Every structure is written in C-alpha cells, then in structure tokens.
Structure 1
Amino acid sequence: MKSSSLQKRLGLGLTLGMTLLWLGATVGAWLVVQHELNEAFDSALEETAQRILPLAALEISNREEPRDAQHIATLKMHKEYLTYLVRDANGEILMQSHDANPKIFNKRPSEGFSTTKKYRLYGASAMRGTLFIEIAEPLGHRREAAREALFALLLPLLALIPISLLGTWVFVRISLRSVLAYRRAVEARGVGDLSAINVAQLPAEIDPLADAVNHLLERLRKALEAERSFTANSAHELRTPLAATLAQIQRLRQEAPEGPLRVRAAKIENSLRDLARLSEKLMQLAKAEGGGLLPEAPQDLIPLLAHVVDEWNHSSGHRIELQLPTQASVYSAIDPDAFGILLRNVIENALKYGAADQPINVSLTNQALLRVTNGGPTVPESALQQLTDRFVRGNNQASGSGLGLAIAKTIVQGVGASMTLTSPAKGRADGFEVSIQFCSAEAPR
C-alpha cells in the first residue's frame, strides 16, 4: 500500500478541520441572525399595527356609512410585503390595503401573533374590542432575508478556504523543513554509505527515531566491516600458504613417476588452483562490498575498457571483439580498480560459459551503456535472475566459484548503476548478455 505524505495529511486535515469549524460557526451565527431577524420583523408588524389602527378607527368613525368596506388607494403600484384588514368583532371587513387577500387571514379576528403555512400574522384591537386590525407578512420574505444573510456569511468562507489551504501548506512545510531535509539525506545515501545521518533541529517526535537509525547504522557498519575484514584477511592470509603448497605439489607431480601418484598430485594441484581463485574472488567481493567504489573525480571508461579487454585477449587467444563509442570520452563516477574488477568478472563469465567457437562481443555506447555478449545455449527465465546470487552457477560443467556476477552486481549497486541479464541476447536466437547502464558524468575540469 502506497504511503501518503505527512505534509499532505496535515495540510488537508488542518484545512478541513478549520473549514468545518468555520461552517459550524457560520451556521450558529446564521441561526442567531435568523432569530434576530424574526424578532425585528415581528416588532415591525406590531409597530405597524399600532400605527395604522388609530388612523383606521378615526377614518371609520368619520364615515357616513361605517360598515361599508373601503380599499385604501395606493399612491403608486408596488409590491406589498405587509397587507392588512380592519374588521369588526364579527369579521366584517371595514378597511383593507389595496393588495390584501382576505383568504390568508383568520376567519375571526384575534389579537397577538399567529402563523399559518405561508404567513406570519399579528392582530390588535381598539374601541373596547369592537375594531380589529390584522397585518400579514409572507414567510417567504423572511426566508429570503435569512437566505441572503447566510450567503453573506458563506461567501467570505469560499475565499478563505483556498487562502487557508495555502497558508496551512506553507506553515506545515516550514515546520517540517528539517524532516524533509532528513528524508533527502536518507534518499541521497549510496548503498555502501552507513555513516551517521546528521540533520539539525528535528522535531521532538522524530529526533529519537533519527538517533535510533544512527545507532542501527553504526552497528550494521561495524558488523559489515568485521565480515569484510575477516573475508579479506582470510583470503589474503591464504594466498601465501596456497602459493607455497601449490609450488610443492607441482614439484611433487614432476618428480613423481608415472602412475596413480602423479594423477593424484594433478588433482590436488587443480583443487589448490580452484581454492586460490576462490580466495581471489573473496578479496574482490570484500572490496566490492566495502567503500572506495566512487572516485573523487569521474573516470573515462574508454581507456579502462580497452586496457582490460587487451589483457584478456592476450590470455584468451583474442576471442574478445571490442566496439568503442564514436565520441572520444565517456565519463562515469566509478573507481578504476572497481571498474576493472567488474569488467574482468563479466568477461570471465562470458568466456567460461559461452560457446568456445564464438567470439565475445564487448561494446560501450556514448550513453555509458556497457554490453558483454556471448554465444551458447540460452539460460531459462527461472534461473536467469538467480545468477547474481552468491555461489550460483549456470547449468554447464564449467568450473567456477559462482561469485563473478555477484561481485559485478555488488559493484553496480555501489556506484548507482543498473545491470540487466538477458537470454537469448538481444538480436540473437541464442547466447547470454549482460547490460550495465552507468551514470554519465561530465568531464573533470
């Protein structure tokens, strides 16, 4: 499962939490505003009724026919939010506003506030309960006012959300700057770099973890150094007695008469030679697993490649065909000795397991891609990826320690390159190919 960014989680979480708090505060403020609006509208209804009722009573009492209903004419046409009826105690209409609809009022006049499905009503009386006025206001008018108030509260929030997201992201990024620096320091580490990772001002929650990682790296470095030192020292210390023993066995074989003794001496000599080669491979493996794979300045691979191939051609009967790039130099960050060990092991593997009647093709491209190709039978896919493991050999009967490609893989990983094994070789129906893509570098100044 892919891990998510702490910076992303904190930014989104804080912004979402702040937004929800703002929304909650907005809803609370809107409810308060709605309550206050209702009180203001109710007060307006009551005040309007108390203003109109005395005037209506005076108008009705001065009529010749008080019981005749009268529409109050408007000065100009407009939409009335407040409509009213003036009635007697029996509900007879004595006066009404020009846009009043009697159906929306109660059948019998009453005092105080009341609410219907669509209207808010207020009634008041005068002249000892013989004259009533009722004022109606559409509830839609109140809802519209409440809705506009809600929009007025929400619109600033829409602008504040992206600003808050940006501000939170910047704040979290600044706060996690040391953690990001620690991550970059870890990512920039090479495979063989086990030194302590020092990043200043880490958060208190991360600092113990960084200390624990440094302690673990130190223990791992000491363990690997002990292992490499033992391997290198053992291989080095074996070289002298092996050489002396091999010389004695060779002398014994020459002095022994024809017969079983000479055959046995020859077998011992071959075993000692294999042991000497294994000792040399172990020394190479110790160097590959240790430091010193990266030089102070990039190295030109062309002369190094030509030198190693020339050495092998002198010892293998010129079976190696070399193809160099068109440009004069190809630079990469790899130690010359490490490159020589890498190339010797790959070429030795091709000579040992390739077809004896076919040449070995070695090529280097302008993009620092090294290819070593040999003929012979193909390697099954199931066994192909296991060839870079230690002490794993191919299926043929050639002698070997099974460390050549393992040493090459270790060096490739140590310098940040990549190695690919292909069988059959590219462009062929048989054979085996090792492709190593080095990291190109600029020429040193």
Structure 2
Amino acid sequence: MSRNSSLQKRLGIGLTLGATVLWLLGVAASGLVAQHEMNEVFDSALEETAQRILPLAVTDILNRESNTGNRTAPALKEHDEYLTYVVRDRQGNLLLQSHDADPGIFAALPREGFTNTSTHRIYGASAVSDTLYIEVAEPLAHRREAALEAGIALLVPLFVLIPVSLFGIWWVVRLSLRPVIEFQHSIEARGASDLSPVNKDRLPEEFEPTAVAVNRLLERLNRALDAERSFTANSAHELRTPLATALAKVQRLKTQLEDQHLKKNVVEVEQALRGLSTLSGKLLELAKAEGGGALSQQPHDLVPILAMISRDFEPLAPGRIRLTVPDHKVNSLLDPDAFAILARNLIENAMKHGSVQQPVDVIMTDDGRMRVCNGGDIVPPDQLAVLRNRFSRHDTRAAGSGLGLAIADAIASGAGMTLHLRSPATGRADGFEVELNVTDAGRNPGPCT
C-alpha cells in the first residue's frame, strides 16, 4: 500500500485546518475589539452615573440639618448592585454611600478621573469648588464575565461552522478533482496491451501537461514495441518458406548420395536447417506472446485445450505424459491460443530437458493451478533465476533454443499471472517444476512487453 496520501485528503484537511485557524484568529480579534468597546461603554456608564448622582447627592448633603456624618442611600428593593458609590469631602470623610458600597475599596483621599485597583474600576468627580467628591466603582470581575460571555458567544457558532466547513471544503475539493480521479482510474484500469492515448479533455490546466507527456510516452512506446514485434514476426515468417525449401532440397539430396562421408555432411546440414526452422517458429511464438493478446473478452474452459496439447505429444513419447485434470470446467480469461502456446512450450521443455526414464506430470487442479513437473538433475538457484530469460539454458545436452520458458513467461506476465520455477520439484528430491494459476489471468495485468 502506498504511503503517499491523496491530494484530495491533503487539500481537505489543509483547507479545513486553515479555515479553523482563521476562524479562531477572527474570534480572538473580535473578542479583543468587543472587550475594548465594552470597556468604553462601561467607563461611559461610570462617568454618566457619577454625573447624574452627584447633583442629587450635593443637594441632599447641603439640605441636611447637620453636614457631618455618613448616610446610606436606601434601596427600593433588594438587588445586586454592580455600581456602588460614595460621596466624601476633601479630607476623605464619608458623607453618603450606596446601600452595597464598601468604603474599603476606595483610596483614603478622593481623586478625580479613572483609577484602577486590583478588584475595581473607579471614576471620581468633584463639585462645590472641589469640596465634595463622588466616586463610582465597578467590579473588574463583572467586566471579565461580560468579556468571557461575549467570547463564548463568538466561539459557539464554530462548533457548527467547522463541520459545515469541513463538508463544504471536502465537497468542493472532490468536485474539482473529479476529472483528475477519473484520469487516475482510467490509467489504473488499462490492460497490459492498451497503449491508446489517455483522455485529457476535462483535466484541469495544471494536470494537462502530465497527460500530454503520458500520451507522448505511450506513443513512443507503442512505436518501439510495434517495430520490435514486427521485426521478430517478419523475420521468423520470412524465414519459414526458404528454410522449408532448403530443407526439402537437402533431404532430396541425401537420398541421392551414396558417398557416406558426403551423406553425413548433408545430414548435419539437415539438422542445422531443422534447428533454424524450429528457432524461427519459436521467434514467431515469442512475437505473438509479446504482442499483448494474452487475454480474451470472455472466459474459456482450458481443460480440453490442455488435454489436446498433451495428446499431441503422446506419439513422440508414448506413456510418458501423465495428465491429471478435474472433471469440471476451469474457466479463465486467458486467451485459448495463448494458453495452447504456453502449455505446449512447458510440456516440450519438460520432455526435452527432463529425465527420459521418468514421466512428465501435467496437472490442473480444481482452483486453476497448473503444474508441469519432470524428473532430472536439480537446477542450481543461480541458473534457476535466469531460465526465463531469452536464449538462457541450463547446462544440458538436449537440443533447444532457450526460448520455451521465455515464451511461457511472456504470456503469463501479459495476462497478469506469475510463473513459478522450482527445483527440486514439490514433494521430490530432484526434478524441475513450473507452476502458475490460470484463474489469475486478467486480475492484475502485467507490464507491457
């Protein structure tokens, strides 16, 4: 699994976090502005209260029979008093106070203007030639409570806005990236042989150069593969007719010669021509195997095909092939012609390089696993790793072109299957085994070859 996260996920999370941070910064800034404005309102209320009460307090004090002594202003009914006040003379003598006022929160001598204590905000004003002073106090806790409530009122909508923003951002990002996702899926869903240009009509401008570069690469790859396959196929096909003609003439010449020395030389020429004819046939099969036609549109039962191929080898080595197939169908998307080439090469490889004293087991299981096993010497691991390469052969005296396993591996890879080579064979102390699962065809198309 890839560790790289999707662009859609990155954009969704990044934009949501960014929007959330901006919301929080906006709330913080709004809270600071609101707190500043509320402080101005509260200060204005303190000043207005002092200016309204002071004339009434002065009238009350001047109309007293005795100007000395403190008096508490009565309350009409019990209530919480956020603003408290005291009226004092220049020496700090208390003359009048509100019913909840605490003289201890005020300074010893009255002062005009705004002052702060650890617990209160105080505003002072004077009258009667600065002989009488009123001081109005407001608890700072009241202001902090108001600021906290305002901040909470600004934060609460975020609990709704953040999920809505997350959904909205996800939806917009998904809608915007839909052409890119379709482009991704169109490439992932391509078969191994599909080198047609990708569709770039609806792609965003930023991704269009990527699609153009991919199409150019596919075009160059298609031309290169076509040239290689055409050369291999044409070479093998064009060699068939002159080789067959030459072989026929050599065989005719062999029957006309009486000199045994010359006849031996002709036989050697005949064998060389047969080998060259076989090589041209193998090259043609390799070109077909690499041509990308390993898959068919509909599944086919491969059991009858495997049985027919096995019977074709019976006249060459009677009783040597032991065929084991299930009674029911084994359907696969592997092309029947491609499977016939694959099975023929595997069986031919086992018969040619295996011990002639031991049988060749051709097995097809119920779940689609096909195994071809033969006896013989164990193939060392270093040679086993390169046997599927072209013209690679194990140290053997048997004649061959070294293309049989390469052809089988090309067909298996093109169909999305894996060709397993084992030596010794499973359950044996010697021999060689090839295994693949034909039901895997079409599930994971391999790279273009």
State the TM-score, normalized to the length of structure 2: 0.87
1:136 and 1:239, CA in 2 relative to 1: closer, same or farther beyond 3 A? same
Q: Which moved more, 1:188-197 or 1:425-434?
A: 425-434
CA contact (8 A) 1:416 1:438 kept: no
Q: Which moved more, 1:223-232 or 1:23-32?
A: 23-32
Q: Which residue identity does 2:170 align to in structure 1?
A: W
CA distance in 2, matches of 1:399, 1:64: 141
Instruction: Specify the SS of the correspondent of 1:279.
Output: helix
CA contact (8 A) 1:333 1:441 kept: yes
CA distance in 1, matches of 2:107, 2:221: 91
Q: Is 1:54 matched up with 2:55?
A: yes
Q: Offset of 1:82 from its aligned partner?
A: 2.8
1:348 alignment partner in structure 2: 348
Q: Is 1:290 matched up with 2:266?
A: no
CA contact (8 A) 1:87 1:131 kept: yes
1:262 and 1:198, CA in 2 relative to 1: closer, same or farther beyond 3 A? same
2:186 alignment partner in structure 1: 185
Q: Offset of 1:428 from its aligned partner?
A: 4.0
CA contact (8 A) 2:192 2:292 kept: no
Q: Offset of 1:12 from its aligned partner?
A: 2.5
CA distance in 2, matches of 1:72, 1:385: 106
Q: Which moved more, 1:392-401 or 1:118-127?
A: 392-401
CA distance in 2, matches of 1:27, 1:432: 76
Instruction: Specify the SS of the correspondent of 2:371.
Output: strand
CA contact (8 A) 2:415 2:441 kept: no
CA distance in 2, matches of 1:157, 1:145: 20
Unaligned runs of 5+ in 2: 443-449
Q: Which moved more, 1:59-68 or 1:10-19?
A: 59-68
CA distance in 1, matches of 2:258, 2:136: 136
Instruction: Specify the SS of the correspondent of 1:129.
Output: coil
Q: Is 1:333 matched up with 2:312?
A: no
RMSD of aligned Cα (Å): 2.9
CA distance in 2, matches of 1:396, 1:435: 21
CA distance in 1, matches of 2:354, 2:67: 127
2:8 alignment partner in structure 1: 7
Number of equivalent positions? 440
2:446 alignment partner in structure 1: none
1:355-370 matches, within 5 Å, as 355-370=355-370
2:420 alignment partner in structure 1: 420
Q: Which moved more, 1:185-194 or 1:426-435?
A: 426-435
2:403 alignment partner in structure 1: 403
Percent sequence identity is: 55
CA distance in 1, matches of 2:429, 2:91: 112
Q: Offset of 1:410 from its aligned partner?
A: 1.7
2:175 alignment partner in structure 1: 174
1:120 alignment partner in structure 2: 121
1:244 and 1:49, CA in 2 relative to 1: closer, same or farther beyond 3 A? same
CA distance in 2, matches of 1:22, 1:349: 72
1:172-321 matches, within 5 Å, as 172-250=173-251, 255=257, 257-259=259-261, 264-321=265-322
Q: Offset of 1:140 from its aligned partner?
A: 2.7
1:128-167 matches, within 5 Å, as 128-167=129-168
1:351 and 1:102, CA in 2 relative to 1: closer, same or farther beyond 3 A? farther
CA distance in 2, matches of 1:7, 1:15: 12
Q: Which residue identity does 1:209 align to in structure 2?
A: T
Q: Which residue identity does 1:436 align to in structure 2?
A: L
Unaligned runs of 5+ in 1: none
Q: Offset of 1:285 from its aligned partner?
A: 0.8
CA distance in 1, matches of 2:235, 2:318: 33
1:123 and 1:304, CA in 2 relative to 1: closer, same or farther beyond 3 A? same
Q: Offset of 1:340 from its aligned partner?
A: 0.4
CA distance in 2, matches of 1:351, 1:123: 115
1:197 and 1:55, CA in 2 relative to 1: closer, same or farther beyond 3 A? same
1:422 and 1:78, CA in 2 relative to 1: closer, same or farther beyond 3 A? farther
Q: Which residue identity does 2:335 align to in structure 1?
A: D
CA distance in 1, matches of 2:367, 2:339: 16
Instruction: Specify the SS of the correspondent of 1:315.
Output: coil
CA contact (8 A) 1:235 1:279 kept: yes
Q: Offset of 1:75 from its aligned partner?
A: 6.1
CA distance in 2, matches of 1:60, 1:377: 127
Q: Which residue identity does 1:241 align to in structure 2?
A: P
1:417 and 1:129, CA in 2 relative to 1: closer, same or farther beyond 3 A? same
CA distance in 1, matches of 2:382, 2:95: 105
CA contact (8 A) 1:190 1:416 kept: no
1:25 alignment partner in structure 2: 26
CA contact (8 A) 2:423 2:433 kept: yes
CA distance in 2, matches of 1:426, 1:134: 103
CA distance in 1, matches of 2:111, 2:408: 102
Q: Which residue identity does 1:408 align to in structure 2?
A: A
CA contact (8 A) 2:371 2:434 kept: yes
CA distance in 2, matches of 1:65, 1:363: 127
Q: Which residue identity does 2:289 align to in structure 1?
A: A
Q: Which moved more, 1:350-359 or 1:250-259?
A: 250-259
